[in-house]
Amino acid sequence: MILPDATLGVLGGGQLGRMFTLAARKMGYKVIVLDPDPLSPGGAIANEHLQCEYSDTEAINYLARHCAAVTTEFENVPVASLHALETQCVVRPGATAVLWAQDRIREKTFIRNFDMATAPFHAVRDPAELDVALTQIELPALLKTAELGYDGKGQQLVTDAAQAHAAFSEMGGVPCVLEQRVKLKKELSVLLARSCSGEFAMYPLAENIHENGILDMSIVPARTSAEIAERAMEMAQTLAELLSYCGVMAVEFFLTHDDELLINEIAPRPHNSGHYTLDACLTDQFEQQVRALCELPLGDSRLLSPVVMINLLGDLWQNGLPAWDALFRYPNTKLHLYGKREARPGRKMGHCNLLATEVDDALKIADEIRQVFTDVKKVSYA
């Protein structure tokens, strides 16, 4: 086990890196954040901030020399950097597990090869392959870049062949997947932690609502049957075992109107839909990430209270500071801001967790708080 007072490294200092750093420091660890952003939210509270690119060999070697173990806050870190670290120190999750999640073609093929369902898709690497895909995938469909897409970025809805070719060209002709647009009943996610010895800590199923491709709200426990929750958890566990995964991981699902569970994607890290754990679970996802990284026993993941998490995007700041005074009138609401200097539309600036004895009561509070932000005059920056 890697015990407190050791130094941990994290590749990425956005909000996930920041919350990992907070958890690690609270537990007595020192943290070095590697992030090229001089205003990195995680770097601002770490013991040390390496303001370098993720591929910087000198910075990677520095991390390896000074850290007992290293993790990542996002899946698009260069795999070569993870491999270089693995030769010198503990890295969790490992480069191989992260690699599967970096490319939609690779990820979805991996899932299919083990007889688990995804939405129908076809790989598209050139215009000829797109023509083949259009004969195999029912339209309307989503054309998604194989790499780097998130929060609705890197994807376009296409309804005919001409639109699909135009979209492929607009995306720069990079590898993509053409994925059938599935009629959904719900979007769900499973958050789990797996130790290197195969121990699991499972969190309850979350129900997720998106707006413009960005997570807007997570509802826990999900408003679905126990049978569906059990199936989703079993599928997520199977994926973690197939990947020999060590760390915190989220698996996103589509639930169809026929109650079929389709795996959308794997996130080899803490996840936006798991932020509810910060206030509603005995062990939150970031403490769990520290525990898995340091080979400590996993924490108890039980849900202490029904909860609704709502994302706070930069749009709320467009006319001044949001009405925090009105928000704090709700005693069972917990605010988390990420320390980002610039509020931009669509940028995740924070979230709040709304706890209640019943999910419906938490949803009612969520509606009231949204109304507060709409109606109450905001504070001027001046």
CATH number of the CATH domain containing 131: 3.30.1490.20
Task: Judge if 21 and 158 occupy the same domain.
Answer: no
User: Which of 91, 112, 139 delimits the end of a domain?
Assistant: 91
Residues 165, 314 share a domain: no
215 shares a domain with 141: no
Q: Give the pLDDT of residue 372.
A: 80
**55 occurs within a structural domain:** yes
* 266/159 same-domain check: no
pLDDT of amino acid 233: 97
pLDDT in tens, the chain (382 residues): 999 999 999 999 999 999 999 999 999 999 999 999 999 999 999 999 999 999 999 999 999 999 999 999 999 999 999 999 999 999 999 999 999 889 999 999 999 999 999 999 999 999 999 999 999 999 999 999 998 766 667 789 999 999 999 999 999 999 999 999 999 999 999 999 999 999 999 999 999 999 988 999 999 999 999 999 999 999 999 999 999 999 999 999 999 999 999 999 999 999 999 999 999 999 999 999 999 999 999 999 999 999 999 999 999 998 888 888 888 999 999 999 999 999 999 999 999 999 999 999 999 999 998 888 776 544 433 3
pLDDT at position 152 is: 60
Q: Which of 180, 211, 231 is the last residue of a domain?
A: 180
Same domain, 323 and 205: yes
Are 272 and 240 members of one domain? yes
Asked if residue 11 belongs to a domain, the reply is: yes
What values do phi and psi take at 108, rounded to 5? -70, -35
Same domain for 164 and 200, yes or no, is no
Whether residue 302 is contained in a domain is answered as yes
The CATH number covering residue 77 comes to 3.40.50.20
Q: What is the pLDDT of residue 364?
A: 94
Q: Determine, yes or no, domain membership for 212.
A: yes
The total number of residues written for the chain in this structure: 382
The C-alpha atoms of residue 135 and residue 181 are separated, in whole angstroms, by 15
**Pairing of β 121-124 and β 90-91:** unpaired
The C-alpha atoms of residue 178 and residue 121 are separated, in whole angstroms, by 5
pLDDT at 151: 61
Range of the domain at 62: 7-91
Residue 105 belongs to some domain of the structure: no
C-alpha distance across the termini of the chain, in Å:
51
State whether 255 and 334 are in the same domain: yes
- Specify whether 81 is located in the same domain as 141: no
SS3 for the chain is: CCCCCCEEEEECCCHHHHHHHHHHHHCCCEEEEECCCCCCCCCCCCCEEECCCCCCHHHHHHHHHHCCEEEECCCCCCHHHHHHHHCCCEECCCHHHHHHHCCHHHHHHHHHHCCCCCCCEEEECCHHHHHHHHHHCCCCEEEEECCCCCCCCCEEEECCHHHHHHHHHHCCCCCEEEEECCCEEEEEEEEEEECCCCCEEECCCEEEEEECCEEEEEEECCCCCHHHHHHHHHHHHHHHHHCCCCEEEEEEEEEECCCCEEEEEEECCCCHHHCCHHHHECCCHHHHHHHHHCCCCCCCCCECCCEEEEEEEHHHHCCCECCHHHHCCCCCEEEEECCCCCCCCCCEEEEEEEECCCHHHHHHHHHHHHHHHHHCCCECCC
Residues 357, 222, single domain; the answer is yes
Residue 3 vs residues 20, 27, 299: alpha-carbon distances, Å: 16, 9, 15
Q: Which of 180, 205, 224 is the last residue of a domain?
A: 180
* Cα–Cα distance measured from residue 190 to residue 202, given in angstroms and rounded to the nearest whole number: 8
The answer as to whether 324 is a domain residue is yes
86 and 130 fall within a common domain: no
Is 133 part of a structural domain of the chain? Answer: yes
Domain CATH number, residue 306: 3.30.470.20
Q: What pLDDT was estimated at residue 378? A: 44
Domain identity same for 195 and 146: no
pTM over 0.95? The answer is: no
Q: Note whether residue 103 is domain-resident.
A: no
Number of domains in the chain: 3
**Which of 64, 32, 15 is closest to 313 using CA atoms?**
15
